[in-house]
């Protein structure tokens, strides 16, 4: 290799020593790696944990000693000296190869950048982007309009055919229910994945890819970093949290992009507690639209609980606060082709990721109904519903709401249409449903991403907490004779 | 997919993927890739247009799977070079060869454990100096590096020029100037890759482990 | 030598020293080009700090900015 960087003398001495060791036998343990002896030496001098743990104890001791001797001859940490030598070398190459003959015609991008990050204009822009991008496009268009159309198509064209064929092919009604009818794998599971989740996800990913390719996303993060710090997260968490307003299951996957375990845990928890998905808040908005006081109370309560829960968990969860540093690429006009490719690939990936979860949900509902476990559960939930001041018809809604987040809300809608719920009851059930267990797909994703123990812990907090909030709310409304 | 890596994926998916009660997992979406064909990898820091380049090379027919034992996703696709199927791996963004995050660890593990006929280091032309520090590390490890200086369109708009010949001379490896988002230089990269793969013997598959 | 967080002007300053024991942070800063010998300028302080290092622009939180120490002049002993 023609290219060799010279590091400081003590470091070069140490490299030579490790390379001697490499030739005398250390290298054999790493023969399956594509790694040069010099690279090996440099990584070990910086105590690369993966290579380190593969070394036998005596070699680790030899190295410790070598590193200590080397460090003693330097003013700054070895890794910083190495980084600086490389950076210096790289900068020198840049000076010889990159020229700036006619600097800077980046005026328009600069101006928009200033507008997006200046607090006076930046926050209104942020609100507008979220309002049009998330609320209008994903919420109203994706989760409302598109879902309605595809659902209608499924219910009118596909489900009857599936039901009919299933009834012809399978003689046993109990088994028919597994595939068809109200909760079948095809009529519920696949329909749910394609008719409800797919439009939400498609519109969301399209908007997300646009924001990403335009370079706005890191600016959104920096604007909200301070707020998110207060709830134990960093500006980076904006992405999964906003995503949660589309679909919490997807957002739970995306918490992977957060840097620390602690941050991933907090984000996952807040998503399952206080972020309603598009399918859910869409219906709740419709439900409470005629009662502005109830709507404001619902929104206020959920936002308050979101902030308070984040604040408390940040206070009591051990571990250090999230750090925030992010590169700001220049703003650019997204290339439509690239945006569409990205959206398409993500949708495909997501679809295969969640489809099995919905199929499972259908299968579980089938077993639950067949064995009578659901009836038993509903009769157990009825007194709880009564305790919250709700009619006992809301019991099945709470149970099924767990399997389909929006089903719960849709069930409430039916009750409201029948005039069976007062304003207070609507508010209480909307609050409880929002806080209630995450839907079953999200729960499966929490188990997958965070482990069974964490998932159980979260559920065992969220479940009683949601009911307690509903109970206190009912009590408070009664105490002050408030009728919304 | 049928290469050895994916058997690994199926068999020992590690602790976080141990929920085998899911009937279908990440391998649902299969992709026929010649098992013994050469492999190339795209590496680079985040935000250098790596995934756009990846799609420009492979199209949208790709698989996303979790690297064994992690939640980090690795995207694989295929391209044809000189009538040969070549599998392309898009590695997670990395800042240096010494990993901090799980993603960087995965990127490095891939580079060091899988046999690559070529490794394309994608960098942002506007920040050439800052990003060459990683090129330097890849060269120190004696990996078969090709440097793809991306986002040349933006560099041009900023009034920057890059001397390709000088860069080749300094680094001692092939250099392609490109703007993947505009499809500039993608063909040239293909040619460079084809030359590289033709001039090196087909890599021997390393033992699984 | 002053912490970058205390610098009021938006003129470029020379990075003299990074005051952190956190290896991960050190390497992220290095990757952004924030390391001794380079120049850094503060563009904005609220809601987050925005800095520029050559042609790179980055957003940092207060804790991170506090560990970057700068001088007005290039100092041969610290570089």
Residues A19-35: tens digit of each pLDDT: 999 999 888 888 888 88
Structure tokens at A400: 């099924």
- A39-48: pLDDT as tens digits: 999 999 999 9
Neighbours of chain B (3+ CB pairs under 8 A): A, C
Residue B16 lies inside a defined structural domain of this protein: no
Asked if C33 has any chain B CB less than 8 Å from its own CB, the reply is yes
Put simply, the answer to whether C61 touches A328 (Cβ < 8 Å) is no
Burial of B126 (0-12, 13-18, 19+ CB in 10 A): buried
> Chain B contacts of A449, Cβ < 8 Å?
16, 71
pLDDT for the residue numbered B131: 94
Residue B33 lies inside a defined structural domain of this protein: yes
> Chain A contacts of B181, Cβ < 8 Å?
335, 338
| A308: number of Cβ within 10 Å | 12
- What whole-number distance in Å separates Cα of residue A357 and Cα of residue A354? 5
| Closest CB to C56 among B98, B127, B133 | B127
What's B204's DSSP letter?
P
Residue B105 lies inside a defined structural domain of this protein: yes
pLDDT for the residue numbered B201: 58
- A450-481: pLDDT as tens digits: 999 999 999 999 989 999 999 999 999 999 88
The residues near A481 (Cβ < 8 Å, ≥ 6 apart) are none
Over 70: is that where the pLDDT of A408 sits? no
Put simply, the answer to whether C61 touches A88 (Cβ < 8 Å) is no
pLDDT for the residue numbered A462: 93
Contact between A21 and A46 under an 8 Å Cβ cutoff? The reply is no
- What whole-number distance in Å separates Cα of residue A285 and Cα of residue A304? 18
Indicate yes or no: pTM above 0.95: no
Asked if C24 has any chain B CB less than 8 Å from its own CB, the reply is yes
Question: Averaged over A234-248, what is the pLDDT?
Answer: 87
- Closest CA of chain A from B190, distance in Å: 19
Task: Report chain A's mean pLDDT, rounded to a whole number.
Answer: 88
- C20-65: pLDDT as tens digits: 888 778 888 888 899 898 999 999 998 999 999 988 999 999 999 9
Put simply, the answer to whether B98 touches C27 (Cβ < 8 Å) is yes
CATH match of A9-96 with 1.10.10: no
Residue B20 lies inside a defined structural domain of this protein: no
> Chain B contacts of C28, Cβ < 8 Å?
95, 100
| Closest CB to B159 among A46, A97, A101 | A101
Work out how many domains chain B is built from and give that number: 1
Put simply, the answer to whether C31 touches B130 (Cβ < 8 Å) is yes
pLDDT for the residue numbered B63: 77
Residue B207 lies inside a defined structural domain of this protein: no
Domain range spanning residue B113? 5-10+25-199
| Closest CB to A327 among B47, B163, B167 | B47
Put simply, the answer to whether C25 touches A323 (Cβ < 8 Å) is yes
Contacting A residues, span 425-464, partner chain C, CB-CB under 8 Å: none
Residue A291 three-state SS: coil
Question: Averaged over B179-201, what is the pLDDT?
Answer: 91
Of the pLDDT bands very low, low, confident and very high (cuts 50, 70, 90), residue B15 is: very low
Of the pLDDT bands very low, low, confident and very high (cuts 50, 70, 90), residue A155 is: confident
- A304-342: pLDDT as tens digits: 999 999 999 999 999 888 889 999 999 989 989 889 988
| Closest CB to A226 among C26, C28, C47 | C47
Compute and round to an integer the Cα radius of gyration of chain A. 28
Contact between A249 and A357 under an 8 Å Cβ cutoff? The reply is yes
pLDDT for the residue numbered A101: 80
Asked if A88 has any chain C CB less than 8 Å from its own CB, the reply is yes
Structure tokens at A162: 């599936």
Partners of B123 in the beta sheet? B149
Question: Averaged over A216-243, what is the pLDDT?
Answer: 92
Over 60: is that where the pLDDT of A287 sits? yes
Task: Report chain B's mean pLDDT, rounded to a whole number.
Answer: 80
Over 70: is that where the pLDDT of A293 sits? yes
Neighbours of chain A (3+ CB pairs under 8 A): B, C
- Closest CA of chain B from A5, distance in Å: 8
> Chain B contacts of A259, Cβ < 8 Å?
101
Q: What is the helix (H) or strand (E) element at residue A290, kind and residue range?
A: none
- Closest CA of chain A from C24, distance in Å: 10
Handedness of CA B90, A94, B156, C52 (dihedral sign): positive
Contacting A residues, span 5-64, partner chain B, CB-CB under 8 Å: 5, 32-36, 38-39, 42-43, 46, 48, 50
Over 80: is that where the pLDDT of B51 sits? yes
Put simply, the answer to whether B136 touches A101 (Cβ < 8 Å) is no
- A90-129: pLDDT as tens digits: 999 999 999 988 766 667 888 999 999 999 999 999 999 9
pLDDT for the residue numbered A245: 84
> Chain B contacts of C31, Cβ < 8 Å?
45, 95-96, 130
pLDDT for the residue numbered C75: 65
- What whole-number distance in Å separates Cα of residue A366 and Cα of residue A370? 6
B201 or B190: which leads in pLDDT: B190
- What whole-number distance in Å separates Cα of residue A283 and Cα of residue A151? 15
Find, in chain C, the residue whose alpha carbon is nearest to that of B131: C31
- What whole-number distance in Å separates Cα of residue B168 and Cα of residue A2? 11
Find, in chain A, the residue whose alpha carbon is nearest to that of B171: A3
Asked if B107 has any chain A CB less than 8 Å from its own CB, the reply is no
| C56-60, strands of its sheet edge to edge | A325-327, C56-60, C49-53, C39-44, C13-18, C68-71, C2-3
Q: Where do the structural domains in chain A lie, given as residue ranges?
A: 9-96, 123-479
Asked if A272 has any chain C CB less than 8 Å from its own CB, the reply is no
- Which of A228, A208, A255 has the alpha carbon at shortest distance from A324? A228
Structure tokens at A270: 């807040």
- Closest CA of chain C from A226, distance in Å: 7
Neighbours of chain C (3+ CB pairs under 8 A): A, B
Over 50: is that where the pLDDT of B208 sits? no
- What whole-number distance in Å separates Cα of residue A427 and Cα of residue A112? 42
Asked if B157 has any chain C CB less than 8 Å from its own CB, the reply is no
| Per-residue buried b or exposed e for B93-110, using 16+ beta carbons within 10 Å of the residue's own CB | bbbbbbbbbbbbbbbbbb
Put simply, the answer to whether A32 touches B55 (Cβ < 8 Å) is no
Find, in chain A, the residue whose alpha carbon is nearest to that of B209: A32
Structure tokens at A76: 């700054």
Put simply, the answer to whether C37 touches A84 (Cβ < 8 Å) is yes
> Chain A contacts of C36, Cβ < 8 Å?
76, 80, 84
Over 50: is that where the pLDDT of B21 sits? no
A232, A238, A325: which to substitute to probe chain C, counting the most C Cβ within 10 Å? A325
Least confident of A244-248, A450-454, B61-65: B61-65
β-strand pairing of B39-43 with B118-124: parallel
CATH number at residue B33: 3.40.50.300
Residue A407 three-state SS: helix
| Closest CB to A326 among C33, C46, C58 | C58
Put simply, the answer to whether C27 touches B45 (Cβ < 8 Å) is no
A261 or B188: which leads in pLDDT: B188
pLDDT for the residue numbered A13: 96
- A190-226: pLDDT as tens digits: 887 888 778 888 898 899 889 988 999 999 999 999 9
Put simply, the answer to whether C64 touches A234 (Cβ < 8 Å) is no
Of the pLDDT bands very low, low, confident and very high (cuts 50, 70, 90), residue B9 is: very low
> Chain B contacts of A2, Cβ < 8 Å?
172
Partners of B122 in the beta sheet? B148
pLDDT for the residue numbered B4: 41
Q: What is the helix (H) or strand (E) element at residue B39, kind and residue range?
A: strand B39-43
pLDDT for the residue numbered A409: 66
pLDDT for the residue numbered B5: 39
Contacting A residues, span 443-472, partner chain B, CB-CB under 8 Å: 444, 447-449, 451
């Amino acid at each position: 290799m023609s290219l060799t960087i010279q590091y400081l003398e003590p470091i070069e001495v140490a490299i030579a020593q490790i390379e001697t060791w490499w030739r005398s036998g250390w290298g054999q343990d790493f023969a399956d790696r594509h790694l040069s002896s010099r690279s090996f030496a440099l990584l070990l001098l910086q105590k690369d944990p993966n290579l380190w743990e593969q070394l036998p104890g005596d070699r680790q001791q030899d190295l410790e000693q070598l590193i200590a001797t080397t460090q003693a001859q330097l003013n700054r940490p070895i890794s910083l000296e190495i980084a600086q030598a490389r950076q210096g070398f790289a900068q020198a190459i840049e000076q010889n190869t990159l020229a700036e003959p006619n600097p800077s015609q980046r005026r328009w991008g600069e101006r928009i950048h200033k507008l997006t990050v200046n607090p006076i204009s930046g926050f209104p822009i942020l609100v507008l982007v979220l309002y049009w991008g998330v609320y209008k496009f994903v919420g109203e268009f994706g989760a409302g309009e598109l879902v309605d159309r595809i659902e209608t198509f499924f219910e009118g064209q596909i489900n009857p055919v599936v039901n009919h064929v299933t009834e012809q092919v399978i003689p046993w009604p109990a088994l028919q229910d597994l595939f068809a009818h109200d909760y079948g794998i095809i009529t519920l599971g696949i329909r749910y994945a394609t008719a409800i989740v797919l439009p939400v996800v498609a519109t969301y990913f399209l908007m997300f890819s646009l924001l990403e390719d335009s370079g706005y996303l890191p600016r959104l993060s920096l604007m909200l970093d301070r707020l998110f710090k207060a709830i134990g997260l960093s500006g980076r968490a904006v992405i999964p949290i906003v995503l949660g307003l589309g679909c919490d299951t997807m957002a739970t996957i995306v918490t992977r992009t957060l840097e620390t375990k602690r941050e991933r845990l907090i984000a996952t928890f807040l998503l399952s507690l206080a972020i309603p998905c598009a399918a859910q808040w869409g219906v709740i908005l419709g439900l409470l639209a005629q009662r502005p006081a109830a709507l404001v109370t619902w929104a206020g309560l959920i936002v308050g609980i979101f902030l308070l829960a984040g604040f408390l968990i940040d206070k009591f969860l051990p571990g250090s606060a999230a750090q925030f540093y992010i590169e700001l690429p220049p703003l650019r006009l997204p290339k439509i082709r690239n945006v569409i490719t990205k959206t398409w690939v993500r949708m495909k990936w997501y679809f295969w990721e969640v489809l099995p979860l919905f199929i499972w949900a259908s299968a579980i509902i089938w077993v639950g109904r067949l064995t009578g476990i659901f009836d038993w559960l509903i009769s157990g939930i009825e007194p709880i519903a009564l305790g919250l001041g709700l009619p006992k018809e809301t019991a099945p809604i709470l149970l099924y709401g767990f399997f389909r987040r929006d089903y719960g809300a849709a069930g409430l809608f039916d009750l409201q249409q029948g005039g069976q719920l007062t304003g207070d009851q609507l508010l209480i059930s909307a609050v409880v449903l929002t806080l209630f267990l995450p839907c079953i797909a999200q729960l499966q994703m929490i188990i997958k991403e965070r482990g069974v123990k964490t998932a159980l812990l979260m559920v065992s907090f969220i479940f009683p907490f949601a009911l307690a909030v509903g109970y206190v709310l009912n009590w408070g409304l009664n105490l002050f004779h408030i009728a919304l | 997919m049928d290469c050895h890596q994916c058997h690994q994926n199926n068999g020992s998916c590690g602790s976080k993927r141990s929920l085998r009660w899911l009937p279908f997992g990440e391998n649902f979406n299969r992709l026929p890739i010649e098992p013994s064909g050469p492999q190339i990898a795209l590496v680079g820091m985040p935000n250098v247009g790596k995934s756009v380049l990846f799609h420009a090379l492979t199209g949208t027919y790709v698989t996303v799977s979790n690297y064994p034992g992690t939640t980090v996703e690795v995207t694989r696709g295929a391209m044809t070079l000189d009538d040969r199927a070549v599998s392309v791996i898009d590695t997670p963004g990395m800042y240096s060869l010494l990993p901090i995050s799980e993603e960087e660890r995965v990127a490095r593990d891939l580079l060091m454990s899988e046999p690559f006929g070529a490794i394309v280091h994608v960098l942002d032309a506007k920040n050439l100096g800052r990003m060459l520090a990683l090129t330097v590390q890849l060269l120190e490890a004696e990996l078969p590096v090709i440097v793809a200086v991306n986002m040349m369109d933006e560099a041009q708009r900023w009034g920057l020029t890059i001397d390709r010949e000088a860069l080749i001379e300094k680094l001692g490896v092939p250099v392609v100037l490109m703007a993947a988002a505009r499809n500039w230089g993608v063909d040239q990269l293909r040619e460079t890759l084809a030359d590289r793969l033709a001039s090196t013997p087909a890599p021997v598959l390393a033992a699984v482990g | 030598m002053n912490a970058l967080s205390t610098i009021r002007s938006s003129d470029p300053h020379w990075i003299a020293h990074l005051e952190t024991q956190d290896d991960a942070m050190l390497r992220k800063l290095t990757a952004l080009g924030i390391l001794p010998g380079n120049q850094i300028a503060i563009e904005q302080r609220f809601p987050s700090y925005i800095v520029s290092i050559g042609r790179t622009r980055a957003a940092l939180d207060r804790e991170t900015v506090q560990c970057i120490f700068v001088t007005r002049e290039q100092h041969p002993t610290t570089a």
